[in-house]
Amino acid sequence: MEYRLFGRTGVRVSVIGLGCGGFGGVGSPKELFGKGEDEGAAFQLMDRALELGINYFDTANSYGGGASEEMIGRWLTARGVRDQLVLSTKLFNAMSAEPNAAGLSRRAIMREIEGSLRRLQTDHLDIYVTHEPDWDTPPEETLRALDDLVRSGKVRYVGCSNEPAWHVARGLWASDRLGLARWEGVQNEYNLLHRGAEREVLPLCADQGLAFTPFSPLAGGWLTGKYRPGEPPPAGSRMTLRPGPYEEFSNQPTYDAIERLRKAAGERGVELAALALAWVIRSPRVTAALVGPRRLEHFEPALGALAIQLSAEERDALSGQSIA
């Protein structure tokens, strides 16, 4: 396993991070609660991740309606490995029907941190991440509350996710102006089919010394080659359970890009998914890629990616035309 510094901090995270959004559900949608991995499967996946040297685990309070955090918490207690991990969770989505349950207000933050710590069975988070922008709450309010958590010792570092570059920059400016805890990392989507982060987010991260830890490095499974034109998606795949975030890929340019990648992988004698993941982690601006395996064999592309070296020219050749 390779390890890289998380932004300007002295903390090192594995270049492959374990995304735990499938524990107890498929992300945050309520209609998919109970359709993800059960606790036995989640324990097996976490055991394997630890065995491989993955020390960066990422979840969210809303994944599985809290089930993901609960499973991780029971696993941490059973294995006694809390100090070996860089543990990250997120907040924003509503955990109840109460009108103030969602968002990034001081009220929401102070309540949700307690729920996450309780479910994770820990007294602190290494990284606390805002899951979405809250357009109704001034960033100064959010950052003051997060700064209080850092000063209290309940949180070590803070980060943000699904953010446009201008909003990240506004938050950084507010932190610097007011002397508050600063974003140390950004978690946005980034893969061969979705490269929007290259325009502004990645340059901002490089300029400000922020970690960049992309989710969906395999584009929700599209870059494994499992989806083919004219054929129904495999049973149990993301396109059968939660197609919405990935419908943008269902077009001919995507299939053409996947075929180019398939050809390049064949020439190298590597798996298509391993090459796609290597393209992400070999970016000089990527700190770690978050993968969400559902079965133990899904770790194989990550292992393959670690063995693949790509020059800047080779990454450019694989890039082709940006889809989004």
Cα distances (Å, whole numbers) of residue 167 to 49, 177, 245, 288: 33, 15, 22, 22
- Euclidean distance between CA atoms 147 and 156, whole angstroms: 10
Phi, then psi, of 215 in degrees rounded to 5 = -100, 165
Task: Return d(Cα 69, Cα 92) in angstroms, integer.
Answer: 15
Amino acid (one-letter) located at 177 = R
**H runs (alpha helix) in the chain:** 39-51, 67-79, 106-120, 139-152, 165-178, 201-208, 238-241, 252-268, 272-281, 300-306, 312-319
Q: In 3-state terms, the chain is what percent helix, strand and coil (to 5)?
A: 45, 15, 40
| 63 catalytic residue (yes or no) | yes
The amino acid present at 51, given as its one-letter code, is: E
Pick the catalytic residue from 63, 157, 227, 246. 63
> What is the spatial distance between Cα 318 and Cα 266, in angstroms, rounded to a whole number?
13
- The catalytic residue positions are 63
